[in-house]
Structure 1
Amino acid sequence: MADTPYATPSAGLPPQAALHTGRAVFTEAYAVIPHGVMRDIVASALPHWDKTRAWIIARPMTGFSETFSQYIVEVAPGGGSTRPEPNAAAEGVLFVVEGEANLTIESKPHVLRPGGYAFLPPGCNWSFSNTGETPVRFHWVRKRYEAVEGIEKPTAFVTNEQDEPIRWMADTNDTWGTTRFVDPTDLRHDMHVNIVTLQPGAVIPFEETHVMEHGLYVLEGKAVYRLNRDWVEVEAGDFMWLRAFCPQACYAGPNRFRYLLYKDVNRHARLDL
């Protein structure tokens, strides 16, 4: 694998002598999927994707987290798809963490390198390929788009997180900030996939308790994270999956701590459950 500043899943399997005791946990309010359990044996193939495997780390589940799915996808050289998205109602975000990918959106080509970010609206015509000599790994977040009468659907765009500013929270001395790829007031968007950065020793100083569901994939660093009633130590490559109203807070570790964050936003609460 090529060098990358972002964490990616482990290859292979642990040796037979390894202890099975780990940090994986699934509760009524949250789950933690540590990087050490994202092994070859739990990867899946995807229809209409060639030379590709995926770790499916979140999917809608009744009574838990119901709005999104999140994959870590690995595409080998020569692989990819011309029919990647099976659901015309689904929007998506791609975030590349390793390798170089060719993304075509409505016949327009783009090259995605580590940090590359693409938003794909519902019904978008896109394809993905790896024409290089090393694997490409990326996150793929999918959500059924919630259309609203009188508000047009969002348009596709491509950027790189390294070209976007970190917007620091007020009164934090530039220690807690968010890289936002969409204007929070843009009501065309019903989900945000951002990157949160906490400098060494920074904190989220209160227990956030809110309606948004979360997927948090740790890109780098380590921290102690408050999840419901528990303090949980997490590090690069770990995934935290939070249902609505799960309390959360954070103490960042000795190095910079960053994670890719999904949340559902900007829509009325459903009343037809």
Structure 2
Amino acid sequence: MTPRASAPQPYYVPKGGLPPQSQLITGRAMFTDAFAIIPRGVLSDIVTSALPFWDGARFWVLARPMSGFSETFSQYIVELAPGGGSERPETDPNAEGAVFVVEGAVSVQLDGQDHHLTQGGFCYLPAGAQWRIRAQGDTGGVFHWIRKRYQSVAGLDAPDAFFTNENDIPPAPMPDTNGAWATTRFMDPADMRHDMHVTVVTLQPGAVIPFDETHVMEHGLYVLQGKGVYHLNQHWVEVEAGDFMWLRAFCPQACYAGGPEPFRYLLYKDVNRHAALPYA
């Protein structure tokens, strides 16, 4: 695929291509025992992947389960050429998925019904769902695909598939922040059927997460818009639109938003399940 032209949009999308030979090698990429930073400049053509049963598609793999690090999820940026997609996108019958469209439009077919998703469109696809996906129109489509092995609980039904758009969900302000920090929640936090949450977090310029959150949930954070400074396990790290942060369980994390526009990111976390206990 050839790199796409830049255009103003609410969500940052990788442009592909390769940097010139004159560019300095040193960058902002970091991998520690508590977190990883994948800056947007790393998402070049040379690091894309291909997957079985997809056509007209390439994948930037942002996260995958790793023993001793984040172990619950994988996350891809999927770029589809016009008409590209898959009749069999998910090959693991135990994997649930979430799709968030950041550019163009895609059609997701589930149980024989087509669902048209444009920028900001989101769908949740339960484990075992028979779904298909194709880019629509003459510009293709780009989306985030988050996958997790579903943790079923005896006596608790599995969650249903659903389709929505970020713009149709009122952001929920965080307490005592006067709206400076808000969360757009795709899953109902009170629905115990879900074992993962995907949200869009928005901090207005100057807003802060004012303490080092230290908790059991693993995180994937893709910066959709703006820039900010994160405090990660006693490291200060500047991030901007297009960067990805991968946080291990219990990694201390706080941030403040900088720049003239809101700081927004797509957030994954595992929720609502007991910690797995080892058995001899």
Corresponding position of 2:276: 270
Partners in 2 of 1:156 and 1:267 — Cα distance? 20
Corresponding position of 1:91: 96
1:142 equivalent to 2:147? Answer yes
The structure-2 alpha-carbon separation of the partners of 1:3 and 1:129, relative to structure 1 and needing over 3 Å to count, comes to: farther
Partners in 1 of 2:278 and 2:240 — Cα distance? 38
Partners in 1 of 2:104 and 2:14 — Cα distance? 14
Partners in 2 of 1:158 and 1:131 — Cα distance? 17
Corresponding position of 2:156: 151
Q: Check the 8 A contact 1:221/1:256 in 2, yes or no.
A: yes
Partners in 2 of 1:220 and 1:3 — Cα distance? 11
Corresponding position of 1:49: 54
Q: Check the 8 A contact 1:98/1:137 in 2, yes or no.
A: yes
Query: Which of 119, 123, 127 does residue 128 from structure 2 map onto?
Result: 123
Question: Unaligned stretches of 5+ in structure 2?
Answer: none
Partners in 1 of 2:105 and 2:189 — Cα distance? 29
**TM-score normalised to structure 1 length:** 0.98
Partners in 2 of 1:131 and 1:190 — Cα distance? 31
Q: Check the 8 A contact 1:33/1:240 in 2, yes or no.
A: yes
| Farther-moved stretch of structure 1 (99-108 vs 143-152) | 99-108
Partners in 2 of 1:78 and 1:272 — Cα distance? 46
SS in structure 2 at match of 1:132? strand
Deviations 1:53-100 (A, max 9, x none): 000010000000000000000010121101000100000000000001
Corresponding position of 1:208: 213
Corresponding position of 1:234: 239
1:9 equivalent to 2:14? Answer yes
1:252 equivalent to 2:257? Answer yes
Q: Check the 8 A contact 2:230/2:236 in 1, yes or no.
A: yes
**TM-score normalised to structure 2 length:** 0.96
SS in structure 2 at match of 1:131? strand
Corresponding position of 2:37: 32
Partners in 1 of 2:127 and 2:265 — Cα distance? 25
**Identical aligned pairs, as a percentage?**
65
The CA deviation at 1:3 is 4.7
Which amino acid in the other structure matches residue 115 of structure 1?
G
Partners in 2 of 1:10 and 1:157 — Cα distance? 30
Corresponding position of 2:197: 192
Deviations 1:179-223 (A, max 9, x none): 001111211000001000000000000100000000000000000
Query: Which of 46, 71, 79 does residue 66 from structure 1 map onto?
Result: 71
Partners in 2 of 1:170 and 1:262 — Cα distance? 21
Q: Check the 8 A contact 1:44/1:55 in 2, yes or no.
A: yes
Query: Which of 95, 102, 109 does residue 104 from structure 1 map onto?
Result: 109
Q: Check the 8 A contact 1:223/1:257 in 2, yes or no.
A: yes
Which amino acid in the other structure matches residue 165 of structure 1?
P
Partners in 2 of 1:97 and 1:272 — Cα distance? 39
| Farther-moved stretch of structure 1 (6-15 vs 197-206) | 6-15
Query: Which of 142, 160, 163 does residue 165 from structure 2 map onto?
Result: 160
SS in structure 1 at match of 2:139? coil
Partners in 2 of 1:165 and 1:185 — Cα distance? 17
Deviations 1:27-54 (A, max 9, x none): 0000000000000000011110001000
Corresponding position of 1:171: 176
Q: Check the 8 A contact 1:58/1:69 in 2, yes or no.
A: yes
The CA deviation at 1:105 is 1.1
Q: Check the 8 A contact 2:83/2:140 in 1, yes or no.
A: no
SS in structure 1 at match of 2:182? strand
Q: Check the 8 A contact 2:104/2:136 in 1, yes or no.
A: no
Q: How many residues align?
A: 273
Q: CA RMSD in A?
A: 1.0
Deviations 1:144-167 (A, max 9, x none): 000000000000000000111110
